[in-house]
Structure 1
């Protein structure tokens, strides 16, 4: 068997995950920028996930809220924007052009066409009118720096206009121009989410003009993004890569060829790593525990998850749409879930106790206490509730 077909087993995949995702104690990061660089992207659909994912990986989590907020809204090291699978993520700012060209442009064209189609069916004004409103809104946003949709509508009243969507169907509803237009502008890379209205757990955001970035070739950008992700998460199968990126399989294969990805053998078939990463990887010297939030990029990183998450645990830990809730990890695998009660207590339950002893439970309890201390008086309820989280938090 050649080197390109070297078998990478479950133990090694878990070792790579521990080291590269900064989950083992010795690998924890000094700041949020290091965490984001290591993971490539932090899920941002639930704002709390960003902070909880960072805090779980910092050597000193007491600084999580202040430093993550500063990176997002002051220093400009991190940007919250639409990315893969039309999902909101937080990226290192240096990746904004890559994400925009590799995944955003295709989705953006589809979203703008859908908006114009829906407006046309509702008898709303045409594309020229929408362009006028768009230009006025962007100019107002540039003047204000950051603003809510309501504030922008003070400068451009046409943003308040409404149209009926899907009239006569079970999906019928009323859409405001500002809601749909700002969403399209976000996918197009013209605006990004700014400071939240409230605490770090708030889902209500101001908008800001997106940072300037060069326009890249789509194929080159796809190769760059896939290479970054494989370095952090490889080995991965074509199915994993297609799922994570949201691309067509032809795009995935072209990007794999462009970066010279190397095949390896996995339990589920052929996987890929970046060139130079075929050799064996030894894990951390000591087993490790972690409490990761709902939608954490490690738990959601692969489509095929049996190597770190037993199928029988999924009904308790996922919602009906496939969103993972808060998870408890021991030495590279999910062993349970956790939640925060109204009084702030962090509670957890083990669902898979195979091979777990007193040391594991002690380490998990220490992680729960570590989380409780830095979260403090803030109460965190995941945006997507899962059966075990709801039960534990009651």
Structure 2
């Protein structure tokens, strides 16, 4: 790149990651909302990931479950909803309007059109009928506060109506109106997932009315989301930004221009940081280790990952769809994997060659983190939704 453009190397990127992602000991958070605000979004496809990601970053990990449940279901400082790449995340409540406008609207339009089309093909009632059922279901949900699909169907029986999906195809199936409609309403930002039916590891959720939020201009919301994310994850390349947001490259470039993002040089080429963030960042004085869960937002934060994850580790740590499993971190890079066995033991393995002195320090620090995870998880047992070769091997 031209003169005046600063190069940010791997060591500094790892230092930024340790501090800004709340992984270094000195940077750990006091509350789950602080963790979410620091990361912008916590992956929520696997419910346990949210708690494990928070626990890895709290100064007092013993409070992980109670504090996270309180933030999600009582204080409502965190909200579980669809976001980037049509994926379920947990966001700070203050970002819901930004996420909805920047990533949800386009997906929502496609989802509703798809539902109406599928119902029409199956000879089910039309869009006007669907709208009537929707309004009735939302009114019932407002009265109840939180409810399962089955509970809502007690108030609005038409939610139980079924229709055949993809008739004659190998993936033909029978859908209920409730299943598809509630999903559409979630993407549209009208409902969110509420308290689970079981424990914090359960994937069966009640539904709740979405928190009220203003309708924002799409371009304005995209710029705001990008600003938040770059402040945490910069420097990042256009490829990283396009992958994380799910936007078109033209939208990424428009948002970068809108926030006055500053270009820097990274090993992959041109990267971007928020304006004023190109200066040197010193790393934490003390070395650090972390055990991060499958789908953790740090491990999944960038498309181009060689600066923190060696390519030769990927076959062991990712499933065939590109979902990362539980990872062991040492000073800003992935060095191994971990798993929980049926008896609750946290087992781990270093997969990277380290100098003897560094290896000894890393092993000691990882052992402390493993015991920390075991203690706060207590009797809970977690099997990642997306299992990877190394996690399967270790958990035996």
Q: CA deviation at 1:159?
A: 0.5
Q: CA deviation at 1:353?
A: 2.3
Q: Deviations over 1:345-384 (max 9, x none)?
A: 0000111123442111000011000000000010011111
Partner Cα separation in structure 1 for residue 107 and residue 345 of structure 2: 41
| 1:362 aligned residue | 364
Partner Cα separation in structure 2 for residue 306 and residue 37 of structure 1: 25
| 1:59 aligned residue | 59
Are 2:239 and 1:219 aligned? no
| TM-score, reference length from structure 1 | 0.99
Runs (4+) of structure 1 exceeding 6 A deviation are: none
| 2:199 aligned residue | 199
SS for the counterpart of 1:357 is helix
Partner Cα separation in structure 1 for residue 171 and residue 241 of structure 2: 32
Q: Deviations over 1:146-204 (max 9, x none)?
A: 00000000011111111111111112111111000000000000000000001000000
Partner Cα separation in structure 1 for residue 212 and residue 66 of structure 2: 25
| 1:331 aligned residue | 331
Q: CA deviation at 1:338?
A: 0.3
| 1:83 aligned residue | 83
| 1:7 aligned residue | 7
Matches within 5 A, 1:364-383: 364-383=366-385
SS for the counterpart of 1:347 is strand
Partner Cα separation in structure 2 for residue 165 and residue 182 of structure 1: 16
| 2:392 aligned residue | 390
Greater displacement, 247-256 / 167-176: 167-176
Partner Cα separation in structure 2 for residue 31 and residue 50 of structure 1: 13
Contact 1:14/1:333 (CA < 8 Å) preserved in 2?
yes
Contact 1:4/1:264 (CA < 8 Å) preserved in 2?
no
Q: Deviations over 1:35-88 (max 9, x none)?
A: 001000000000000000000000000000000000000001000000000000
The gaps in structure 2 that reach 5 residues or longer are: none
State the Cα RMSD in Å: 0.9
Greater displacement, 278-287 / 297-306: 278-287
Contact 1:3/1:278 (CA < 8 Å) preserved in 2?
no
Matches within 5 A, 1:263-278: 263-278=263-278
Contact 1:102/1:221 (CA < 8 Å) preserved in 2?
yes
Partner Cα separation in structure 2 for residue 120 and residue 207 of structure 1: 26
Greater displacement, 352-361 / 120-129: 352-361
| 1:113 aligned residue | 113
Partner Cα separation in structure 1 for residue 170 and residue 311 of structure 2: 34
CA distance 1:201–1:177, change in 2 (3 Å):
same
| 1:124 aligned residue | 124
| 1:72 aligned residue | 72
| 1:37 aligned residue | 37
Partner Cα separation in structure 2 for residue 178 and residue 275 of structure 1: 46
Partner Cα separation in structure 2 for residue 176 and residue 291 of structure 1: 40
Partner Cα separation in structure 2 for residue 163 and residue 227 of structure 1: 43
The gaps in structure 1 that reach 5 residues or longer are: none
Matches within 5 A, 1:139-178: 139-178=139-178
Partner Cα separation in structure 2 for residue 4 and residue 86 of structure 1: 38
Q: CA deviation at 1:286?
A: 1.5
Partner Cα separation in structure 1 for residue 12 and residue 138 of structure 2: 49
Partner Cα separation in structure 2 for residue 132 and residue 4 of structure 1: 60
| TM-score, reference length from structure 2 | 0.98
SS for the counterpart of 1:5 is coil
Contact 1:288/1:330 (CA < 8 Å) preserved in 2?
yes
Q: CA deviation at 1:6?
A: 0.8
Q: CA deviation at 1:2?
A: 6.0
Partner Cα separation in structure 1 for residue 181 and residue 114 of structure 2: 11
| 1:25 aligned residue | 25
Partner Cα separation in structure 1 for residue 118 and residue 4 of structure 2: 50
SS for the counterpart of 1:363 is helix
| 1:229 aligned residue | 229
Q: Deviations over 1:238-288 (max 9, x none)?
A: 000000000010000000000000111111110000000011111011211
